[in-house]
Amino acid sequence: MENIDSAKKYVVRLGWTLDEACQVENFLMAMERICSREGISFLFKIDGERLSKKYTYVISIPWPSGAIIRMDTDDKKNGMMHMYAGLEKFEIFPVSETTK
């Protein structure tokens, strides 16, 4: 998996192990914290019509560069790790519970 080092670095920022970061509830909590920043959106879709790469992950970051982090995959963990790596690359860090 590409960018695993970036994903690991991001997960450490969250205070989790890789296994904890890829638990669905924790992943969604991280995405909720990210989306609490103005304008950031997260989308997860399961496409029942596709035979492969049925899971789609998308994060839209309107500022500063209008970046999109996206992955279509059959592996949910791989998709989560790709999102974490992309967030690290664009330096989009979660809002802490105390600063909401």
Q: Does residue 97 form part of some domain? A: no
What's the pLDDT at 32? 93
pTM: 0.89
Query: Has residue 56 been placed in a domain?
Result: yes
| Structural domains counted in the chain | 1
For residue 63, being part of any structural domain is answered with yes
Residue 40 lies in a domain: yes
**Under-50 pLDDT residues of the chain:** 97-100
Distance CA 84, CA 65 (A): 18
pLDDT at 100: 43
pLDDT of residue 3: 81
Q: What is the pLDDT of residue 83?
A: 97
Considering the domain boundaries, does residue 98 fall inside one?
no
- Domain assignment present for residue 96? The answer is no
pLDDT reported for residue 5: 93
Which among 86, 67, 61 is positioned nearest to 7, based on CA atoms? 86
Which residue range(s) make up the domain with 14? 4-91
